[in-house]
Amino acid sequence: MSAFPEIYLVRHGETEWSASGKHTGRTDIPLTPAGEEAARGITERLQGLSFQAVWSSPSQRAFKTCVLAGFGTAALKTSDLAEWDYGAYEGLTTKQILAKRHGWRLFRDGCPGGEMAQDVGARADRIVSQLRAVNANVLVFSSAHFLRVLAARWLGLPPHDGALFALDTASISVLGYEHDLGEPIVRHWNQR
């Protein structure tokens, strides 16, 4: 445990689309039974920790993960935690997108009719500002690509550097500080 505030990031449990590699932005897909089981397992992994605030994406996959982990009654849903809007690429796998658009990379190229990395970064910046204002431990439930951009912005990196961080379903990552509040770091990443 750090002497400084820590931000716990939880990616939602498995959905049918996450298991098959389909981009799931704004489509509200439920957790699979395996996703629900993994979400329940988060309770034990966070046992003994206290949080000043619990925030969740409004998506059912993130909020259900929050509820099954035992934090639903304390959670505040915020639209800024929503997953990347994939626009025309919603429901497609990367392989399907690459067949139509050779060389495409989400964090570099964004999505037609959806968001670019800088759009997601603007939402992440608002969350980072709110996290720093709380100045205490916060638990956040959201989706992979948004959380990856959030980590990049926490560190002061450009939004497209979220591509450098991979996240599995039902993983826990921790953002924090090194020697003082001016040194944001990643304390733990993608723990299963």
- Local structure of 72: helix, strand or coil: helix
- Concerning whether 44 is annotated as a catalytic residue, the answer is no
Contact 110, 116 (CB under 8 A): yes
Helix-, strand-, coil-residue percentages of the chain, each rounded to 5: 45, 20, 40
Of 12, 23, 145, 160, catalytic:
12
State the Cα–Cα distance between residues 186 and 175, nearest whole angstrom: 5
Of 83, 115, 145, 160, catalytic:
83
- Concerning whether 83 is annotated as a catalytic residue, the answer is yes
Contact 12, 170 (CB under 8 A): yes
* Segments in the chain forming alpha helices (H): 16-20, 33-45, 60-68, 94-100, 106-109, 117-134, 144-154
Q: Is 190 left (phi over 0), alpha (psi -120 to 50) or beta?
A: left
Which residues form the catalytic set? 12, 83
